[in-house]
Amino acid sequence: MSPLAWLLGLVLPACAASGTAGLPAPALMDIEHITRPARPNSALAAPAGNQLAPDIVTPRFPLPASRLYGLLVAVAGEQPRTFLAARFDTELQAHFVARSAVLNFPDLITAQVAEAGPDASNVVLYSRSVYGYSDFGVNRKRLSTWLAAITSKINQSDER
């Protein structure tokens, strides 16, 4: 952690922590009833027709939900400064904390996978900032990066 993040932690306590420390343990989220803040510091990736209009429309993935969930958790684990906060494997839901490089600001990411037919599944990703009015597009970019990485892993396994 940078000295600047430590100093900022005097005012914003979660900035002085590392990993998931300094934040409450996440509970299982009802992903169908997300209430997004009025501030422009969150992003939602979801299938078309989702109750809440997504910022990014996710495709239907051609694999079972349990396999997509495993890929998603693996992709999240490969991201810099991203930490697993909680897993609800029965519900195919996981929560992560991603920290900014310089100021150690925490962002929360919730991922939910659901069956979408035989050997097909959907994913909903919801990323939001803990602090600040705007996120300067960081949350949306994160979701795009994760979706591209998931698609890449699926394409790699299809080539084998």
The CATH number given to whatever domain includes residue 150 is 3.30.530.20
Would residue 12 count as lying in a domain? no
pLDDT in tens, 60-86: 999 999 999 999 999 999 999 999 999
Range(s) of the domain holding residue 137:
39-159
Q: How many domains does the chain have?
A: 1
- What are the structure tokens assigned to 160, written together? 């084998």
Would residue 152 count as lying in a domain? yes
Does the pTM surpass 0.75? The reply is yes
Residue with tokens 């934040």: 23
Query: Residues 58-82, buried b or exposed e (16+ Cβ, 10 A)?
Result: beebebbbeebbbbbbebbeeeeeb
| pLDDT higher than threshold 60 for residue 159 | no
- Nearest Cα neighbor of 82 from 46, 109, 44 is 109
Using a 10 angstrom Cβ sphere, with 0-12 exposed, 13-18 middle and 19 or more buried, the burial of residue 144 is middle
- What are the structure tokens assigned to 145, written together? 């990066």
Q: What mean pLDDT is predicted for residues 83-105?
A: 95
